[in-house]
């Protein structure tokens, strides 16, 4: 899906919506108009937040939407690296994140100082970083990629230079296999996508022999090997909508099921079960954002996400390189 999924603004209150939620939604719409604000949301956000957003998309689509936004205020309903990306690409806008603690385990696995040390010791390496990284890491990278354009980006990397792929080793391994490019992989991973139980997925496949297993490339190698379709969140959604199949076991964060159910109401969707009897297939960082915090963020125009200008300029260079190559 090239341009993500704009929401049907004004058609968001359903009968099941509690009056408290309805009040928060109404207040959000009011504040958006008053402040000339736009809400960009990732698919892993709570359904209420997705329904109140102006634009929902995968990381690449959200970065593009942020880059071209003319709103005075961009509220990013996602995690910190996404809001930073919006600020890097559209610095004259004020960017706010409902909860500044909304981080990312992948991003945390690659502190800029450690990448700087690697680069010092391996100056010949061409550094490709997955967008799930901090502004500091983006500033040290040659080019950025997302799960929807990683193959294209790796194929464009100079053939005469060794590649470091950071920080997701699972995505990196999958891309290396797809492109045939040898790459050094940073040892990072996503706590959510490493949680799925292969044993339980096999059991599900036995009970639903016609179901397709669809997976995000942040999942572990052994799970990806069993998957019928692999793609970014938007690509998974598009696949469910367009596939002739009826039933899907979905191996990514459970928030995406809301859009899948909305856009493909006749399909049967089974969230891939985690190892433990926990809600580990929900990203604890994404879920820090709530409708209450959204309203508070719009009211106070904070917490604001800023990036020091020297870092922003370097990070913009690697993000723009990605935009040019994809």
* Beta bridge mates, 213: 249
129 binds ligand 13P (CB under 6 A): no
Judged by CB under 6 A, the residue of 129, 170, 232, 326 near ligand 13P is 232
Which of the choices ligand 13P, ligand SF4, none does residue 258 contact, using the CB cut-off of 5 to 8 A by kind? none
141 binds ligand SF4 (CB under 6 A): no
- The Cα 62–Cα 297 span in angstroms is 19
Helix, strand, coil percent values for the chain (each to nearest 5): 45, 15, 40
Residue 44 or residue 165: which is nearer to ligand SF4 going by CB? 44
- The Cα 53–Cα 241 span in angstroms is 21
Residue 41 or residue 249: which is nearer to ligand 13P going by CB? 41
Cβ contacts of 102 within 8 Å, gap of 6 or more: 78, 79, 80, 285, 286, 288, 289
Which of the choices ligand 13P, ligand SF4, none does residue 285 contact, using the CB cut-off of 5 to 8 A by kind? ligand SF4
Helix (H) or strand (E) holding 37: strand 37-42
105 binds ligand SF4 (CB under 6 A): yes
Choices 88-96, 99-107, 146-154, 256-264 (CB under 6 A): range interacting with ligand SF4: 99-107
Structure-token pair, residue 235? 């690509």
Question: Taking the complex as a whole, how short is the minimal distance between the CB of residue 304 and ligand 13P, in angstroms?
Answer: 21
Question: Counting beta carbons within 10 angstroms of the beta carbon of residue 8, is it exposed (0 to 12), middle (13 to 18) or buried (19 or more)?
Answer: exposed
Residue 136 or residue 167: which is nearer to ligand 13P going by CB? 167
- Interacting residue ranges for ligand 13P, rule: CB under 6 A: 58-59, 132, 146-147, 216, 218, 232-233
Binding interface with ligand SF4 (CB under 6 A): 44, 79, 104-106, 132, 190-192, 218, 253, 283, 285-286
């Amino acid at each position: 899906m090239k341009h993500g999924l704009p929401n049907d603004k004004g058609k968001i209150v359903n009968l099941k919506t509690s009056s408290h939620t309805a009040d928060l939604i109404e207040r959000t719409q009011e504040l958006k108009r008053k402040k000339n604000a736009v809400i960009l949301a990732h698919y892993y956000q709570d359904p209420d937040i997705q329904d109140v957003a102006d634009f929902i998309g995968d990381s690449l689509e959200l970065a593009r939407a942020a880059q071209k936004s003319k709103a005075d205020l961009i509220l990013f309903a996602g995690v910190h690296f996404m809001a930073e990306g919006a600020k890097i690409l559209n610095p004259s806008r004020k960017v706010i994140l409902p909860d500044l603690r909304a981080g990312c385990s992948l991003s945390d696995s690659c502190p800029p100082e450690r990448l700087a040390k690697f680069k010092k010791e391996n100056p010949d390496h061409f550094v490709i970083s997955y967008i799930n990284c901090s502004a500091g890491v983006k500033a040290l990278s040659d080019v950025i990629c997302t799960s929807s354009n990683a193959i294209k980006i790796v194929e464009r990397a100079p053939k005469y230079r060794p590649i470091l792929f950071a920080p997701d080793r699972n995505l990196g391994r999958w891309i290396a296999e797809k492109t045939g490019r040898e790459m050094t992989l940073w040892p990072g991973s996503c706590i959510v996508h490493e949680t799925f139980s292969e044993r339980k997925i096999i059991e599900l496949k036995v009970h639903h022999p016609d179901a397709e297993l669809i997976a995000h490339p942040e999942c572990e190698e052994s799970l990806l090997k069993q998957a019928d379709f692999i793609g970014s969140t938007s690509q998974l959604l598009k696949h469910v909508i367009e596939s002739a199949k009826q039933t899907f076991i979905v191996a990514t964060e459970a928030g995406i099921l809301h859009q899948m159910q909305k856009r493909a109401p006749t399909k049967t969707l089974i969230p891939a079960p985690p190892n433990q009897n926990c809600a580990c297939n929900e990203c604890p960082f994404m879920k820090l954002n709530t409708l209450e915090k959204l309203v508070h963020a719009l009211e106070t125009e904070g917490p604001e996400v800023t990036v020091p200008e020297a870092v922003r300029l370097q990070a913009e260079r690697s993000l723009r390189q990605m935009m040019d190559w994809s």
